[in-house]
Amino acid sequence: MTADIPNNLIEIQDPDIDVDEIMAQIRARVQQRRAELGYDKRTFPAFDLAAYPGEPEDIAYDVNLYHYLRLVNTTYNQVETGLNLAPSPATQLPIIGPLWARVRGQVHNLVLFYVNRSLAHQTNVNRHLISVLNRLTLLSQEQQRTIAALQAEVDALRRRLDAEP
């Protein structure tokens, strides 16, 4: 993107040449060429979790929404997939028991490998979904503030109209 081109990309010592003007022309031409070719003007978000917005102090809010939103923000990545084998009488048999215990452990490790891969993907999905919920909650807060301000303005206008003869 054109915003990624640093200002100090070209260093010229000649006082008759204006580097900033040249860079501005380059940026303009790059933008023009991208527009001609139909490039998207998309920007990509950072790869971090959108922060929990917190309960607003200036507007009414649903206590349950913020309770559950706080819970999902703290627990979305808490998964436990350690090896946990229940005792088996078959492992007590002579000769075959230790072999069975080893095979059993390896099979469980294989299953855990694929479960962990799936959980890693699901945790990423959860993180993205929670970011969306956090951002939607912030948007909702802003809209509630705007609605309250507009309602106050409408009420003031009504009072003025009612007061006029």
Say yes or no to pLDDT of 121 above 80.
yes
Structure tokens at 31: 């933008």
Rg (CA), the chain: 30
3-class secondary structure, 21: helix
Say yes or no to pLDDT of 54 above 70.
yes
Among 44-48, 88-92, 119-123, 155-159, which is the least confidently predicted range?
A: 44-48
**What proportion of the chain, given as a percentage, has pLDDT over 90?**
47
Q: How far apart are CA 96 and CA 36, in angstroms?
A: 73
Mean pLDDT confidence for 31-55: 79
Per-residue confidence band for 79, with pLDDT thresholds at 50, 70 and 90: confident
Say yes or no to pLDDT of 49 above 50.
yes
Mapping DSSP onto H, E and C, the string for 124-140 reads: HHHHHHHHHHHHHHHHH
> Which of 69, 54, 78, 82 minimizes the C-alpha distance to 133?
69
**Which stretches of the chain are DSSP H helices?**
19-37, 63-75, 96-163
Per-residue confidence band for 82, with pLDDT thresholds at 50, 70 and 90: confident
Q: How far apart are CA 125 and CA 154, in angstroms?
A: 43
